[in-house]
Chain A
Amino acid sequence: MFRYYLKLGALSIRANPALSALMVAAIAIGIGACMTIFTIQHMMGSNPIPHKSAQLRHVQMDSWSDANPYNDGANPPIQLTYTDARNLLAAEQAVRQIATFKSGRIVEPEDPDELPYTVSGRATSKDFFAMFDVPFKYGSAWDAAADLSEEFVVVISEPLNERMFGGEDSTGRRITMNGDTFRIVGVLDTWSPVVKFYDLNNNPHEPVEDTFFPFSTAMANEYGNEGNTNCWKPPEGGDRAAFLNSECIWIQFWVEIPDQAAETQYMNYLDAYVEQQKELGRFPRPLDNRLPDVEEWMILNEVVDDDVSVLLGLAVLFLIVCLLNTIGLLLAKVMRRTKDISLRRALGASKASLFSQYIIEAGMIGVAGGLLGIGTTWLGLLGIRNLFNRFDFVEKLTHMDWSMTALAIVLAVVSALAAALYPTWRACQVTPASQLRIQ
């Protein structure tokens, strides 16, 4: 029977080619609009390190002004002062901990004829790589001794290794940046988290840095910070030492917390630390320490752009319009066939069989709309990519994976079936032989 109904459906669809095409196109366009925006929203907010995100915590403590609380008191500051970062790092109260900030560098090639060029850089501690499961192609992270003795060691990205050394194993080789000569200890393998979760200060979707070097080395050599610096109280003096001692926040601080016990333990430590700082006259605000994990951190930092949420809402409404359109057209089609239906009912067709017949017909339109919807989604993403083509990261955000493709088809079929319910129900209400009187 199912195949027979498929055949009937195909006949009916072909009988009204313009109308059927309109229904398929409306569903395809509605699905395309929804899925384009949904794909981008999904990619923007997707968890970049799902297997471990709950264990990775950013440290937040309220070092801000009592008179003008940070973010009107809604949450503690999103970065740390140098004083606190240094103290927490030295205390080593978590399994792993890192203090980090962004600092671009200029590479001076060995060949004097070659022009120097800028690379992005990050000051961090050795735990960075183990904490964030960073894949290595060659070599490894530096060791604790390098952190302690402010060594000039560097881990470089795969693209930089490609550019400098043609992709071969460059561990042990030298690289001069801003006058400092570093020894390469490791080369990363391909690593491009969709969200650069460990530093959401600037663009949350920019690529990971090209160079990573010890935090201690960067501090000892006065490397500048490229992220945000925010102060509630002026530094007491005009030199660097005064800035480092100030209440200005500019450092990201992450800890690895494997379980509940570790979390309680670390929270206790933080509370004790802040109490101790309060005695020194710092931390005027009430105690408010927090350890958000990666997902909470992304929400707090509003990684998903508001514009995308607005567009997603409008896209869903768009799909609703397309479905109302389909319901109207299917209903009109049914109403024109009432004579047909009443005749079939008079000849013994049950409501159930009529129902399956029309639902199958609608399902066919849904599947066609869904398949075409994959095409329109692809076009939509292509359009978005063109609009933002001056940013590389848009590639990552407009990538339609298998789950999104499957979702497009499921959404199309479900919406077509939902659209078909009312017209089909109306068809089943036609009483047998009611329409045969005139003839």
Chain B
Amino acid sequence: MEFGPIWRALLRNKGGAILIALQIAVTMAIMVNSIAIMQERATNMQRPSGMDEANTLTFASISFAADADLRATYINDLEMLRNTPGVINAVGTNSFPLRGGGWSMGLQTEPGEDMGGVGAAIYFGDEHMIETFDVELIDGENFSPEQVVFLDPDNFRWEPYVIVTEALAKTLFPDEEGSVVGKTAYINQNDPVQIIGVIDQLQAPWQGWDDVEHALFSPVKRAEGFARYVVRTEPGMRDELLPQLEEMLASADKTRLIRGAQTFDEVREGAYLGDSAMIKILGFVITLLTIITGLGIVGLASFNVSRRTRQIGIRRALGATKPAIMRYFMLENFMISSVGVIVGGALAIGLNIFMVETFALTPMAWWVVPVAMIILWLVGQAAVAGPARRATRIAPSIATRSG
């Protein structure tokens, strides 16, 4: 192979080659880190909320009349919702996964102050929550209707029963091999709550939270001025039911407003808007960047070909075949690209370490660097192919001309 001569020829005319290698290196640093961020965001977005998202909708009822009977409204609303054909179940709660706002409390296994607890999102609701949220009870039991109480705004206290996610149970009782059902945890430092059931998986309302898999159900019906309903429908019925249910509740009671009607797809879209925008922006950036770098290589290779017209002609006259000329340019580009991607790999890793430390990103996956290397090698080869083919068409007779 002609590695040696090509390398030595490159060294004699470093300026242009170094510039391309540098350009490839910086391109690589951007590409690797963009892919790493895109991959992190895409992974986050794929995490399941735990709900039956395709068939779930939500809206809020806001009562404003000073003398409104909030409990009656709450009871009537849920009865109407649950009795509507096409509705599997409905619940009145304070929040739901991906909502972005909610209530969290610290849980601890011993009572007392200053213990430092395990954070958990609280979802208040009745015994219909498990079916409405479409979570699976993997251990223990659901709330019995007697365990569920109405919120007393003048005397708030924690009800003594909870249903927790499996992830929360594992964090609370890491050494427990058997069932955690029947165990007691302490909420609000001193209030005992007994675990009566464990569900498979449900996210907290904040998708960016470290403890996103920590959630618990508390058997309280919060019939407040602001009530949030979650409704699960039969497959395919959601979009049809949403306006219908909204209208039904609005006309049943005029002393309140129905607001924030959304399907769960819309909730998800809103929750991950920033992440999906980031993916789109970065995808656009690396595409554009690859095109610019590719065109830059085309431009420089074309220059080189035309500058070396005589030289190529002489080589052809001395017996070099067309494929040999082609190979020369392809190999030359491969060597420049290789220097570029190796320097670029180092730059990319350095930048990633910096970003992980500064912006608390997740370190990138191992495969990103090799993938970016292969992409840039291919781009380089594709970009140089055109000018190289033009070089093969230079007639050997050029060698006989002067100038």
Choose from A22, A108, A310, A439 the contact partner of B299 (Cβ within 8 Å).
A22
Stretch at the interface among A89-97, A188-196, A254-262, A314-322: A314-322
Interface residues of B in 254-278 (CB under 8 A from A): 257, 259, 270, 273-274, 277-278
Q: Is the CB of A328 within 8 A of B20?
A: yes
With an 8 A cutoff between CB atoms, is B403 at the interface?
Answer: yes
With an 8 A cutoff between CB atoms, is B318 at the interface?
Answer: no
Contacting residues, chain A, for B37 (C-beta < 8 A):
310
Q: Is the CB of B19 within 8 A of A239?
A: no
Q: Is the CB of A388 within 8 A of B277?
A: yes
Q: A362-389 CB contact bits vs B (8 Å, 1 = yes)?
A: 0000000000000000000001100110
Chain B min CB distance to A33 (Å): 7
Q: Is the CB of B303 within 8 A of A238?
A: no
Q: Is the CB of B33 within 8 A of A314?
A: yes
With an 8 A cutoff between CB atoms, is B343 at the interface?
Answer: no
Stretch at the interface among B62-70, B167-175, B209-217: B62-70
Majority DSSP secondary structure for residues of B touching A: helix
With an 8 A cutoff between CB atoms, is A288 at the interface?
Answer: no
* Known contacts A67-B113, A67-B116; A336/B303 CB under 8 A: yes
Q: Is the CB of A321 within 8 A of B307?
A: no
Chain B min CB distance to A44 (Å): 13
With an 8 A cutoff between CB atoms, is B15 at the interface?
Answer: yes
Q: Is the CB of B152 within 8 A of A238?
A: yes
Choose from B33, B156, B304, B402 the contact partner of A438 (Cβ within 8 Å).
B402
Q: B327-360 CB contact bits vs A (8 Å, 1 = yes)?
A: 0000000000000000000000000000100011
Q: B149-168 CB contact bits vs A (8 Å, 1 = yes)?
A: 00011111100000000000
Interface residues of B in 275-294 (CB under 8 A from A): 277-278, 280-282, 284-285, 288-289, 292-293
> With A and B bound together, what is the CA distance between A359 and B306 in angstroms?
24
* Known contacts A322-B292, A390-B273; A331/B15 CB under 8 A: yes
Q: Is the CB of A108 within 8 A of B30?
A: no
Q: Is the CB of A238 within 8 A of B19?
A: no
* Known contacts A65-B114, A68-B116; A321/B23 CB under 8 A: yes
Q: Is the CB of B299 within 8 A of A329?
A: yes
Contacting residues, chain B, for A300 (C-beta < 8 A):
none
> With A and B bound together, what is the CA distance between A390 and B26 in angstroms?
35
Contacting residues, chain A, for B33 (C-beta < 8 A):
314
> With A and B bound together, what is the CA distance between A320 and B26 in angstroms?
8
Q: Is the CB of A335 within 8 A of B403?
A: no
Q: Is the CB of A22 within 8 A of B30?
A: no
Q: Is the CB of A33 within 8 A of B257?
A: no
Residue of A nearest to B68 (CB): A179
Q: Is the CB of A328 within 8 A of B16?
A: yes
Chain B min CB distance to A429 (Å): 11
Q: Is the CB of A321 within 8 A of B277?
A: no
Q: Is the CB of B257 within 8 A of A117?
A: yes
Interface residues of B in 344-403 (CB under 8 A from A): 355, 359-361, 402-403
With an 8 A cutoff between CB atoms, is A140 at the interface?
Answer: no
Residue of B nearest to A33 (CB): B285
> With A and B bound together, what is the CA distance between A178 and B15 in angstroms?
74
Q: Is the CB of B64 within 8 A of A335?
A: no
Contacting residues, chain B, for A18 (C-beta < 8 A):
299
With an 8 A cutoff between CB atoms, is A279 at the interface?
Answer: no
Interface hub of B27, B191, B360 (most chain A Cβ within 10 A)? B27
Contacting residues, chain B, for A324 (C-beta < 8 A):
19, 22-23, 26, 296
Q: Is the CB of B403 within 8 A of A328?
A: no
Q: Is the CB of A328 within 8 A of B280?
A: no
Contacting residues, chain B, for A66 (C-beta < 8 A):
114
Q: Is the CB of A387 within 8 A of B280?
A: yes
> With A and B bound together, what is the CA distance between A209 and B183 in angstroms?
47
Q: Is the CB of B15 within 8 A of A426?
A: yes
Q: Is the CB of B114 within 8 A of A67?
A: yes
* Known contacts A238-B157, A328-B296; A118/B288 CB under 8 A: no
Contacting residues, chain A, for B116 (C-beta < 8 A):
67-68
Q: Is the CB of A317 within 8 A of B359?
A: no
Q: Is the CB of A325 within 8 A of B64?
A: no
Contacting residues, chain B, for A439 (C-beta < 8 A):
402-403
Q: Is the CB of A26 within 8 A of B64?
A: no
Interface residues of A in 285-312 (CB under 8 A from B): 305-307, 309-311
> With A and B bound together, what is the CA distance between A401 and B27 in angstroms?
30
Q: B129-140 CB contact bits vs A (8 Å, 1 = yes)?
A: 000000000000
Residue of B nearest to A242 (CB): B156
* Known contacts A179-B65, A324-B22, A387-B281; A329/B300 CB under 8 A: yes
Choose from B188, B273, B295 the contact partner of A388 (Cβ within 8 Å).
B273
> With A and B bound together, what is the CA distance between A305 and B285 in angstroms?
19
With an 8 A cutoff between CB atoms, is A73 at the interface?
Answer: no
Chain A min CB distance to B16 (Å): 6
With an 8 A cutoff between CB atoms, is A19 at the interface?
Answer: yes
Choose from A108, A309, A332 the contact partner of B359 (Cβ within 8 Å).
A309
With an 8 A cutoff between CB atoms, is A234 at the interface?
Answer: yes
With an 8 A cutoff between CB atoms, is A341 at the interface?
Answer: no
Q: Is the CB of B299 within 8 A of A19?
A: yes
Q: Is the CB of B154 within 8 A of A325?
A: no
With an 8 A cutoff between CB atoms, is B34 at the interface?
Answer: yes
With an 8 A cutoff between CB atoms, is B73 at the interface?
Answer: no
> With A and B bound together, what is the CA distance between A19 and B113 in angstroms?
72
Residue of A nearest to B188 (CB): A234
User: Can you show 5 pairs from A to B with CB atoms below 8 A apart?
Assistant: A29-B292, A234-B188, A234-B191, A321-B23, A324-B23
Query: Which 4 pairs across A and B sit closest by C-beta, in order of nearness?
Result: A67-B114, A179-B66, A238-B156, A332-B303
Interface residues of A (CB under 8 A from B): 18-19, 22, 25-26, 29, 33, 65-68, 106, 108, 115-118, 178-179, 224, 233-234, 237-240, 305-307, 309-311, 313-315, 317-318, 320-322, 324-325, 327-329, 331-333, 335-336, 383-384, 387-388, 390, 422, 426, 438-439
Q: A26-B292, A332-B300, A384-B277 given. 17 additional CB < 8 A pairs?
A: A18-B299, A106-B257, A116-B64, A118-B257, A178-B66, A237-B155, A238-B157, A311-B278, A314-B34, A318-B285, A321-B27, A321-B289, A321-B292, A332-B16, A333-B303, A336-B307, A438-B403
